[in-house]
Structure 1
């Protein structure tokens, strides 16, 4: 899946480069967007499939978790097969921490989670005339976890390493493109709702797994920025 996502992204970039020599147009085949993007995950603890006796004794019955928000730059590339139908992929790396809530309030569990939300959506554009062009979309998403580390609370319980499973999920999308000029420059507002979970594995210094937790991520991803069609 990682290889597929990389290959698909590279193919779209090469197609964009080969098309760049053509004059820019509001009806061009390619649309590039540069956004500021807010990534707003949930992170709620949904299950604890496994806990060592020592860890289980330290977990309160009302333990819960949350993941913090982040704002990152993103770039997306969209190909229009017809005036109404397109395929889009976008790229970003977002960073998050997971902390405790309720019975674990203030606990620092996982720090510096670097995540690539690899996403491809098929979109339908409502071309009603005029500069405003709303759209809806849907498609698969694959969350790739690049790096993370145990938070201070986890370390105090003997955790030295954490591994978060890559996960496949689904995304719904809606937004609007607004033409600012006749040469392809525009403004874009986009919203995505992901449906995806996460499983985290906690290990001690001997490499033994001492805790497994499952979480609901289901992030909202909201983007605003400029677009350029060619």
Structure 2
């Protein structure tokens, strides 16, 4: 009888200990979940957008094959730019840059007498990977590098009877900064260099010619930033 009582006491103590252990584990789990939730709530949204006004300054260089001393120049333009960024961490982000502009192609050197050869519109989607510095408070500088693919469209000749600039890949270097006014809104200044040298063909005075346009544009932008 005494042995049975001891067994019952042992079982009761074991069950009580188990219940206490389960209760403590559940409470700890609730605390961890609440703590994680607080961290998630405090984490910034990874998405960011910008709208900039962009000054596009092209390099005046290029050639028409077979015409000694030939040169090309291209008009500078001002255009809007929209970009979308995704932050993988506080420091690392990817940025997709969207915009469109145009360039007037002028003859130079031995073909300067042709004047404006024609005009083409450019759609240059650009993807960069950036490193953001986070040790300067509201001032947040960054550097980036990436790839560009420029689509030339709506092309027309002037002194050239036909102008066809070929789509081309380019590489990109980038530097800039955001100055955040609050958790969401900020002011942005940005500079990019695109190394872009597309081939082209044209018909000038009934003669088919080919060449290379060394655009290599330098892009200066300023605008607003919004972090979701």
Range into which the TM-score falls when normalised by the shorter chain:
0.7 to 0.9
Contact 2:63 2:70 in 1 (8 A): no
Q: Report the counterpart of residue 170 of structure 2 in structure 1.
A: 169
Contact 1:122 1:139 in 2 (8 A): yes
TM-fit CA distance, 1:107: 3.0
- Gaps (5+ residues) in structure 1? 1-24, 52-58, 155-159
What is the root-mean-square deviation in Å for CA atoms of aligned residues? 2.1
TM-fit CA distance, 1:173: 0.5
**TM-aligned CA distance change 1:62 to 1:26, over 3 Å:** farther
SS at match of 2:198: strand
Return the alpha-carbon distance in structure 2 between the equivalents of residues 26 and 46 of structure 1: 52
SS at match of 2:142: strand
Contact 1:99 1:106 in 2 (8 A): no
**TM-aligned CA distance change 1:204 to 1:100, over 3 Å:** closer
- Gaps (5+ residues) in structure 2? 1-41
SS at match of 1:42: coil
SS at match of 1:197: coil
Superimposed CA distance per residue, residues 187-227 of structure 1 (whole angstroms, 9 cap, x where no aligned partner): 0001100112011111479xx87100112111101110001
Contact 1:41 1:67 in 2 (8 A): yes
**TM-aligned CA distance change 1:130 to 1:26, over 3 Å:** farther
**TM-aligned CA distance change 1:121 to 1:147, over 3 Å:** same
Larger RCO (CA under 8 A, 6+ residues apart) = 1
Flag the structure with larger Rg: 2
SS at match of 2:89: coil
Superimposed CA distance per residue, residues 73-121 of structure 1 (whole angstroms, 9 cap, x where no aligned partner): 1110000010000000111110110112333336334333100111000
Q: 2:210 aligns with which of 209, 212, 220?
A: 212
Return the alpha-carbon distance in structure 2 between the equivalents of residues 197 and 102 of structure 1: 19
**TM-aligned CA distance change 1:221 to 1:106, over 3 Å:** farther
Q: Report the counterpart of residue 37 of structure 1 in structure 2.
A: 54
The answer to whether the aligner puts 1:89 opposite 2:96 as a matched pair is: yes
Contact 2:57 2:77 in 1 (8 A): yes
Return the alpha-carbon distance in structure 1 between the equivalents of residues 201 and 116 of structure 2: 12
**TM-score, normalised with respect to structure 1:** 0.75
Contact 1:44 1:65 in 2 (8 A): yes
Q: Report the counterpart of residue 8 of structure 1 in structure 2.
A: none
Higher helix share: 2
**TM-aligned CA distance change 1:26 to 1:136, over 3 Å:** farther
Return the alpha-carbon distance in structure 2 between the equivalents of residues 26 and 97 of structure 1: 47
Return the alpha-carbon distance in structure 1 between the equivalents of residues 167 and 182 of structure 2: 41
Q: Report the counterpart of residue 131 of structure 2 in structure 1.
A: 124
**TM-aligned CA distance change 1:26 to 1:193, over 3 Å:** farther
The answer to whether the aligner puts 1:190 opposite 2:190 as a matched pair is: yes
Total equivalences in the alignment: 187
Contact 2:63 2:72 in 1 (8 A): no
